[in-house]
């Protein structure tokens, strides 16, 4: 009798959980996607017209730190302090899935993420790279650690995969060597074995980045590589600015963000010309905003 009662209660509880109303609403999502397409097609819209879409992140992504697109255009985001990775449908505003790096959520000061042919990399500010695979929703995936040994040179903040060189591009936020005036980036090849890897350093001077602007510093908080042009698009949270440079370091464009955004910690550029910027929670909730470039 007791057993039957207990099983009955557990079954009811399980059924209640399974039947719990979800937020899924196909009509709403279709409406959102259509709205974005319509805004994209509207030629009268300009950069100053504001974002095409903005999605509020849940509390688990309050400290959303980096964005990354894979080769098929899927958007991924990660948390600042724990190894939680999320896939976001930025067109419809849906958190598609989330998985965990490590058996317990990995803890570090994660600053950026990159996806290279199915290989996921999380960059810690110390220059450590955590490599892992894509997981199913709720899955815990194992990881391996690569120490770039660059942590003694600078504090890292940005990471992206450069298809042309098949390397990860790491950008420093602040150099230990204060003499260097500009943006320092390293290319960490994915072709060679780890022992043979020697990161290649490149410096882009502040004067180049500045262009017509008069920033005293430009400290990138995230990096994305335009899948069409291969240019490097950097966002700087402190300066609330964007800069686009070629692979060789020539300035394409630089200027303020499309709108004032605090704590813009992530950037991604899509193949169809969308600029996606994520902001950490401050006085307002964390969000992902979509702009037309």
Partner 1 sequence: MGFFKSVIDVVALKSDRPIRRLVAYYALLALVFLALFSVFPQMSMVFSGERLDELSSAPQVLTDGLAPGATEDNAVTLPSQVQLGLSTLLTVLGTLVLMLPVSWVYMSSRKSRVHDQTIAQSLLIMPIVVAGIIIVVQNSLALAFSLAGVVAAVRFRTKLDETRDTVFIFLAIAVGFAAGVQELMVGAVISACFNFALLLIWHYDFGRNALEPTAAAQWKEPLKDLALKGAEGVPDRDLAMALTPDKAETLADRFTRIHELLGSEDRKPRYNAILHMSAKSSEEAQKRVEPVLEKVAKRWKLDEVVNNEGKPDQLYYLVRLKKTASSADLITAVRTRAGDRVSGVDVEVTDELAKAGTNGKNGKNGKHEKNGKKE
Residues that bind partner 1 (CB under 8 A): 1-2, 5-6, 9-10, 13, 16-17, 20, 22-25, 28-29, 32, 51, 53-60, 62-63, 81, 88-89, 93-98, 100, 103-105, 136-138, 140, 281, 283-287, 289
Nearest CB to partner 1, comparing residues 95 and 206: 95
In the complex, least distance from residue 139 CB atom to partner 1, rounded to whole angstroms:
9
Nearest CB to partner 1, comparing residues 175 and 281: 281
In degrees rounded to 5, what are phi and psi of residue 266?
Answer: -140, 145
In the complex, least distance from residue 157 CB atom to partner 1, rounded to whole angstroms:
20
In the complex, least distance from residue 4 CB atom to partner 1, rounded to whole angstroms:
9
In the complex, least distance from residue 137 CB atom to partner 1, rounded to whole angstroms:
4
Nearest CB to partner 1, comparing residues 90 and 188: 90
CA dihedral 41, 240, 76, 203 (to 10 degrees): 110
Nearest CB to partner 1, comparing residues 59 and 195: 59
Three-class secondary structure assignment of the chain: CHHHHHHHHHHHHHHHHHCCCCCCCHHHHHHHHHHHHHHHHCCCCCHHHCCCEEEECCHHHCCEEEEEECCCCCEEEEECCECEEEEEECCCCEEEEEEEECCCCCECCEEEEEEECCEEEEEECCCEEEEEECCCCCCEECEEEEECCCCCCEEEEEEEEECCCCEEEEEEEEECCCCCCEEEEEEEECCCCHHHCCCEEEEEEHHHHHCCCCCCCCCCCEEEECCCCCCEEEEECCCCEEEEECCCCCEEEEEECCCCCCCEEEEEECCCCEEEEEECCCCCCCEEEEEEC
Nearest CB to partner 1, comparing residues 29 and 206: 29
CA atoms within 13 A on the CB side of 150: 29
Nearest CB to partner 1, comparing residues 86 and 186: 86
Nearest CB to partner 1, comparing residues 86 and 121: 86
In the complex, least distance from residue 26 CB atom to partner 1, rounded to whole angstroms:
10
In the complex, least distance from residue 191 CB atom to partner 1, rounded to whole angstroms:
35
For the chain, how long is the longest CA-to-CA vector? 80
Tokens of residue 141, six digits: 């995936």
Nearest CB to partner 1, comparing residues 66 and 182: 66
In the complex, least distance from residue 269 CB atom to partner 1, rounded to whole angstroms:
20
Residue indicated by tokens 């965990």: 100
In the complex, least distance from residue 261 CB atom to partner 1, rounded to whole angstroms:
11
């Amino acid at each position: 009798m007791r057993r039957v009662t207990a099983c009955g209660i557990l079954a009811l509880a399980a059924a209640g959980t399974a039947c719990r109303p979800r937020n899924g609403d196909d009509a709403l999502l279709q409406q959102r996607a259509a709205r974005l397409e319509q805004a994209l097609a509207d030629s009268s819209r300009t950069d100053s017209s504001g974002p095409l879409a903005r999605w509020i992140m849940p509390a688990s992504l309050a400290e959303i730190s980096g964005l990354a697109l894979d080769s098929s255009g899927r958007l991924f985001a990660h948390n600042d302090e724990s190894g939680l990775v999320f896939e976001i449908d930025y067109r419809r505003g849906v958190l598609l899935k989330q998985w965990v790096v490590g058996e317990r959520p990995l803890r570090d000061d994660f600053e950026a993420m990159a996806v290279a042919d199915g290989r996921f990399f999380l960059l810690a500010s110390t220059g450590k790279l955590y490599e892992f695979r894509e997981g199913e929703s709720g899955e815990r995936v194992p990881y391996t650690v690569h120490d770039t040994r660059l942590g003694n040179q600078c504090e890292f903040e940005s990471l992206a995969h450069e298809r042309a060189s098949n390397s990860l591009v790491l950008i420093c936020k602040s150099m230990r060597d204060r003499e260097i005036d500009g943006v320092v980036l390293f290319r960490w090849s994915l072709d060679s074995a780890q022992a043979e890897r020697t990161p290649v350093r490149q410096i882009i001077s502040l004067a180049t980045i500045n262009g017509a602007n008069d920033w005293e510093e430009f400290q990138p908080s995230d990096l994305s590589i335009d899948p069409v042009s291969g240019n490097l698009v950097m966002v700087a949270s402190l300066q609330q600015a964007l800069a686009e440079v070629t692979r060789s370091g020539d300035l394409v464009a630089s200027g303020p963000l499309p709108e004032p955004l605090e704590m813009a910690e992530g950037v991604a550029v899509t193949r169809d010309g969308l600029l996606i910027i994520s902001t950490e929670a401050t006085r307002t909730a964390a969000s992902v905003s979509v702009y037309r470039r």
